[in-house]
């Protein structure tokens, strides 16, 4: 009988069949994202309808745009001669591009300086943003960039930023030196630093009490509001005068008592070193060197700066300063020392409870009252201080959330390795907390960059101030709105969207959701 049970064995695989048309390509994406349900399909159709209507309305306005004209009247004449009923007057962007970018009083022959500073900014941040692509040696340019940009934009002697750089390097050396001291030497240093800090704080509070009393007497009582403000400043003056000695003694004792941990005495010593170098060495040393080796650019006062350049300066500087200040405030709010924790809590809650526009008015009007008579406190510097304070308070809360998210075992692991507070915070705690806090920090940074346009309220001619002032008030471009404001929106959108997309990429690289 024949055996017919021989099985069939295939030696090659069957080629895969193509997926159904509804499960691949554009059709699948449309079905899953735009037409997944009846409600989504209806909303998609409505959105497409309004989008088509908007494009049909806006496209002729863009397509008929006039790029070569000297005034808005000339633009309208050109459109009328061509028989067009609508069209944008983009000629204002060509005619006033220098004002929109650099302000209307920045020297025209010095435009290359902020332009070069912007190009160097892009090169300087690349090794920070993409450290896995660019060489770490490029971080040298990143560290030098603030001093180069300061000299390029403001001009003056090159030895001023060089001395500031040398002072910062000396401060870092002092920080490392104090951090590595043995316990006995640190106790001796803490006693000396605590004594001088107590005397210095008491002196500052005493002078502050006198300044507050002077302000209270200068405000007057012509109205109910003035009388209330005068009483408030008078109460602050009395409070400061009563406690200026106890506060000094308390701070001095806190520094001495923290000698074993070493964090507070290290930070105070470094800050004191930087202050002494800048306060008493910057002017004389830079002047002497410049008289021997004069290297200067034309000095440009801050009042001559404006346009989008001013927004970039404020955004870049304030974000760069607010992140380390926010870190310090977040760490201070979690400190075990009541004074430091109390100061940080009061600062954060007060700043977060006050609108930014109020702080800008304070910077414009009242901050100079706290300076010695005859001193010239630059307006841009005042605005930078206030915006930095405002954003650092929000960043502090974001970072505090990151610190609170860390398990207690991380702190215990640092203690088990024998690390002091400064080393544990720098090497173990902060890297993890900052990684968790990336979305919140980026959110604050984007909001801060857009909020720089508020400086136009205090008569600073950023790009919005230029549009509202010299451009719209000129006879050539009076009553022009859409073209210039769309341009301002576009340049802000490019920067903010780039920051947002980079933060999303960085989160994917660091995998902050599961590490």
Helical (H) or strand (E) element with 143: helix 139-154
Residue 448 and residue 442: Cα distance in Å, rounded?
Answer: 10
Residue 320 and residue 510: Cα distance in Å, rounded?
Answer: 21
Note the pLDDT of residue 411.
Answer: 74
Mean pLDDT, all residues of the chain: 82
**Chain centroid to CA 130:** 19
Note the pLDDT of residue 514.
Answer: 47
In the predicted structure, residue 484 carries a pLDDT above the cut 50: yes
Residues 357-365 have a mean pLDDT of 77
pTM for the model:
0.76
In the predicted structure, residue 423 carries a pLDDT above the cut 80: no
Residues of the chain with pLDDT > 90: what percent? 3
Residues 451-466 have a mean pLDDT of 84
User: Which band of pLDDT confidence, cut at 50, 70 and 90, is reported for residue 3?
Assistant: low
Note the pLDDT of residue 116.
Answer: 92
User: Which band of pLDDT confidence, cut at 50, 70 and 90, is reported for residue 133?
Assistant: confident
pLDDT tens-digit profile of 256-314?
A: 777 766 667 777 888 888 888 887 888 888 888 888 888 888 888 888 888 888 888 88
DSSP code per residue over 158-215: THHHHHHHHHHHHHHHHHHHHHT--HHHHHHHHHHHHHHHHHHHHHHHHHHHHHHHHH
Residues of the chain with pLDDT > 70: what percent? 91
In the predicted structure, residue 46 carries a pLDDT above the cut 90: yes
Note the pLDDT of residue 340.
Answer: 77
Task: List the domains of the chain with CATH numbers.
Answer: 28-59 (no CATH), 64-94 (no CATH), 158-297 (no CATH), 306-515 (1.10.3720.10)
- DSSP annotation of 425: I
In the predicted structure, residue 373 carries a pLDDT above the cut 70: no
Note the pLDDT of residue 375.
Answer: 55
In the predicted structure, residue 433 carries a pLDDT above the cut 80: yes
Closest CA to 118 of 91, 152, 88: 152
- In three-state secondary structure terms, 306 is coil
């Amino acid at each position: 009988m024949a055996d017919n049970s021989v099985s069939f064995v295939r030696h090659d695989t069957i080629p895969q069949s193509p997926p159904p048309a509804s499960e691949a390509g554009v059709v699948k994406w449309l079905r899953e994202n735009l037409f997944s349900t009846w409600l989504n399909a209806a909303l998609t159709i409505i959105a497409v309808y309004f989008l088509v209507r908007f494009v049909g309305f806006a496209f002729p306005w863009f397509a008929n745009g006039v790029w070569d004209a000297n005034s808005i009247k000339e633009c309208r004449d050109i459109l009328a001669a061509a028989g067009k009923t609508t069209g944008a007057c983009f000629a204002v962007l060509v005619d006033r591009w220098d004002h929109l970018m650099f302000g209307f009083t920045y020297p025209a022959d010095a435009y290359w300086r902020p332009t070069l500073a912007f190009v160097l900014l892009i090169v300087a941040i690349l090794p920070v943003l993409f450290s896995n692509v660019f060489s770490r040696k490029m971080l040298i340019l990143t560290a030098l960039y603030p001093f180069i940009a300061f000299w390029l934009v403001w001009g003056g002697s090159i030895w001023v930023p060089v001395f500031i750089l040398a002072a910062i390097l000396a401060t870092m050396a002092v920080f490392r030196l104090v951090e590595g001291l043995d316990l006995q030497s640190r106790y001796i240093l803490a006693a000396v630093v605590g004594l001088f800090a107590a005397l210095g704080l008491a002196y500052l509070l005493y002078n502050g009490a006198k300044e507050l009393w002077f302000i209270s007497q200068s405000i007057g009582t012509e109205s109910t509001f003035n009388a209330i403000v005068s009483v408030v400043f008078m109460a602050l003056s009395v409070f400061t005068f009563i406690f200026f000695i106890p506060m000094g003694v308390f701070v001095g004792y806190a520094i001495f008592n923290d000698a074993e941990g070493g964090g507070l005495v290290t930070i105070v010593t470094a800050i004191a070193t930087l202050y002494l170098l800048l306060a008493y060495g910057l002017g004389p040393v830079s002047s002497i060197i410049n008289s021997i080796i004069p290297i200067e650019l034309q000095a440009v006062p801050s009042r001559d700066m404006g346009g989008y350049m001013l927004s970039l300066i404020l955004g870049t500087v304030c974000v760069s300063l607010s992140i380390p200040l926010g870190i310090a405030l977040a760490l201070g709010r979690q400190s075990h020392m009541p004074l430091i924790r109390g100061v940080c809590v009061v600062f954060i809650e007060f700043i977060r409870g006050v609108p930014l526009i109020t702080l800008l008015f304070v910077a414009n009007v009242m901050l100079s009252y706290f300076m010695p008579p005859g001193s010239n406190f630059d307006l841009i510097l005042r605005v930078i201080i206030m915006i930095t304070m405002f954003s650092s308070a929000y960043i502090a809360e974001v970072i505090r959330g990151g610190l609170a998210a860390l398990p207690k075992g991380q702190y215990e692991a640092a203690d088990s390795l024998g690390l002091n507070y400064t080393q544990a915070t720098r090497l173990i705690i902060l890297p993890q907390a900052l990684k968790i806090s990336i979305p919140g920090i980026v959110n604050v940074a984007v909001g801060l960059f857009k909020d720089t346009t508020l400086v136009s309220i205090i008569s600073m001619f950023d790009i919005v101030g230029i549009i509202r002032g010299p451009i719209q008030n000129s006879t050539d471009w009076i009553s022009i709105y859409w073209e210039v404001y769309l341009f301002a929106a576009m340049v802000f959108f490019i920067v903010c969207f780039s920051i947002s997309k980079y933060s999303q990429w960085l989160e994917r690289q660091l995998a902050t959701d599961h590490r």
